[in-house]
Amino acid sequence: MTFSTDLALALPELILAGAALLLLVVGAYAPKSTGLLMIAAIGALAAAAWAAAVGPIGRGFAGGMVSDQASAFAKVAIYAASAVALPLGQKWFERQAVRNFEFPVLILLAALGMGMMASAGDLISLYIGVELQSLALYVLAAMHRDNAKASEAGLKYFVLGALSSGLLLYGASLIYGFAGSTRFDEIALAVMSGANTGVLFGLIFLICGLAFKVSAAPFHMWTPDVYEGAPTPIVAFFAAAPKLAAMVLLARVLTEGFPGAIDQWRQVLVVIALFSIFVGAFAGLAQNNLKRLWAYSSIANVGYAILGLASGNAEGVQAMLVFMVLYMVDVTGFFACLTALNRAGTPMETIDDMAGLFKQRPGMALAMTAFSLSALGLPPFSGFWAKFYVFKAAINVQEPMIQIAAVLGLVGSVVAAFYYLRLIKTMWFDTAPGQTDAIPGEARAIAYGAALFTFPLVLGALVFIDPLAHAAAAAFGLS
């Protein structure tokens, strides 16, 4: 391929990188123009999404970048979630009397890293994408500098993130050393008949590093503390786009780089999936803080997505993609509700704070009820369809280990139902301790829009999402 062809494949990344540098210069000279910077960043994300959707298909930069239906599917979803995070976060910071012109720049840089993760074709581009995304997220977690909890969250995230990056890099080094290449297609040739001991150790380290990025158990230790301490709109961003990017990257690594070792990595994924489901279900029972509660909920939901990926076929990858897209909408909407809700100027972040919400703010209560029932997996909400895809893919695999894991996953879902129903009961039937404050317009719009998507719009959306996810899964070369 020519260099111009390589640049055409990387057009979404070039748009975001150029926009981030330009906005950084503008912000340095006009730091109070946060509204203009936010609009420009949304425009850059929209342009990047368009470029990803209509861009050419192929491999560029000596195989380091892959542009296919899977990367396009992931990038459009990632950039859309990033665009939603911009007004939600910018307006929240303004209400806190904090004007950070760096906020849209960091969102763009995080989106750039996530796009590189979705298009990674070798171990080097994989690591660069992960680190670019992670460094931006570390700063975002600590962005509310006057808040001690936010600073603590950023520090914890950075320290544990450095540990996961070390695992990732060590695993990549072992794979390169024993397979003789960093490119996924060449690694696949080296492990065609199964991974040897050295490659297998490297693969396990690589999976562990990526499991940290999606907060899968037992690599979830950072998630509750960071979710609780970071600004709520930043958590809405954390819980959505980065997880999809990491899951797509994990799918690409395993299916393109190690198709001959499926029986080996499948066992690792099943163990991580079940750990995540049960840690999320049982640890969530003891939580009263909603941000910590939803952190454990996200751990459990990542377990379901990994269970779909463990199926090791196109149906399983398709199920994972559908699950992650529907989950992104749910979690963004829920944290938009938390961003909007205050009582006497104090954020409502515990289950007890939600007492009597239905009588005071029925729209918000209905939205949070929809998100809770969806996370529970109750039909006909989007969470039901997400889990339906995953369990269907797992059960269809003629592999007892996967089928048993699917049954255990259903048990975990039943256990987790307790804390979702507890929240609903508190909102609808308990007595409110005081009057809630006015609801900000942008948070209300995002929350209501996400709730409508959860049901009934999801029924129409699946008509489009399903074939797109199918085409994306087929791009990995699975049957």
Alpha-carbon gap, residue 162 to 170, rounded angstroms: 12
The pTM assigned to this predicted structure is: 0.94
179, 121, 127, 5 alpha-carbon torsion, rounded to 10°? 130
Position 158, amino acid = F
What is the rounded CA–CA span in Å between residue 421 and residue 419?
Answer: 5
Q: Is the dihedral of CA 438, 440, 445, 450 positive or negative?
A: negative
The b/e string for 173-206 (b: 16+ C-beta within 10 A; e otherwise) is ebbbebbebbbbeebbebbeeebeeebbbbbbbb
- Tokens 């210069």 belong to 25
- Name the helix (H) or strand (E) containing 47: helix 34-54
pLDDT in single tens digits along all 479 residues of the chain: 577 888 888 999 999 999 999 999 998 888 788 889 999 999 999 999 999 999 888 888 888 889 899 999 999 999 999 999 999 988 888 888 777 888 999 999 999 999 999 999 899 999 999 999 999 999 998 888 777 788 888 888 888 888 888 999 999 999 999 888 889 889 988 888 777 888 889 999 999 999 998 889 888 888 888 898 888 899 999 889 999 999 999 999 999 988 888 888 899 999 999 999 999 999 988 889 999 999 999 999 999 999 999 988 899 999 999 999 999 999 999 999 999 888 888 888 889 989 888 988 899 999 999 999 999 888 899 999 999 999 999 998 888 888 899 999 999 988 988 989 999 999 999 888 888 888 888 889 999 999 999 999 999 999 999 999 999 999 887 76
Distance CA 15, CA 247 (A): 24
Q: How many whole angstroms separate alpha carbon 426 and alpha carbon 437?
A: 18
| b/e code 278-304 from CB counts within 10 Å (16+ = b) | bbbbebbeebebbbbbbbbbbbbbbbb
